[in-house]
Structure 1
Amino acid sequence: MTDIVIHVDADACPVKDEVYKVALRHELAVNVVANSFMRVPQHRLFTRVTVAEGPDIADDWIAERSGPHTIVITSDILLAERCIKVGARVLSPKGKPFTANSIGQAVATRAIMEDLRGMGEQTSGPAAFKPADRSNFLSALEVEIQKLKRGR
């Protein structure tokens, strides 16, 4: 087993089963973090972490335990930014890597959309999750694991 750990921001994460399969293949620990009970397969590699209700409690747990040997799965842009700052690798459930080069634009876009909604503007939410997204996620997760195993 390596010291690579995967943290899953589990609320509404559509790729938890894929994370479990890949983690088993690579013998990686997985923390499934949510503020309510979440079913997690019984295995020594998998830990369900139920945090208190409240804004950003799950995000705080994940960010505080992330670092250079961590892969974080989240669609939360602000959590992604926090994790990148401490050296973690971050993937969206659709397989899009958040990087130090791309996170600034993602945060800015999020802020603009939030401002528009605050002014009463109707905005569309994120695109629906598609079968191709699942495949993209699996490929991206494998790439990140291999990079960490090679020390890059």
Structure 2
Amino acid sequence: MKKQIVFKTPLGFMEIGERNGFVTHANFVDGETPVSDNDSTLLLLEAKRQMLLFFEGKLTAFDLPLIFEEGTPFQQKVWQTLQTIPYGETRSYQDIARLVGNEKACRAVGGANNKNPIAIIVPCHRVIGANGKMVGYGGGIDRKIYLLALERIMTMQGVQS
């Protein structure tokens, strides 16, 4: 059975879901969202704890079991590759395309990023456009800018420490 927790972050409400001992999703929830941890598992409480530490600048790497319940094999490969981008660093869409074995698949990498079911923990916010341009983020560009600033990443858009 799938369980979830909803809690407030500096970027709005976040929902994290779990099934069978694996985090299945983490995403921002816009609008009126009740904070809820009534049915939370130990894993969900730990995921919430780690996420809040991340937002406080006290956590640079998540240590949570993840599972991708959806997505094509290509998308899942992209999501696995995103997990190798270190805190405080970025990669371009072309870099990720190259790492997954198809240098010309930049748009497909962008599409996979947009469908990333486990935001922040699978750090799609660390993928930027060519020449450092800030492009696309499923949670919104403002959230991406905030996350990159939190990690003190500089881009052409002026995000600085």
Place the TM-score, normalised by the shorter chain, in its bin.
Answer: under 0.3
TM-score by length of 2: 0.25
Greater RCO (Cα-Cα under 8 Å, separation 6 or more): 1
Larger helix fraction of residues: 1
TM-score by length of 1: 0.26
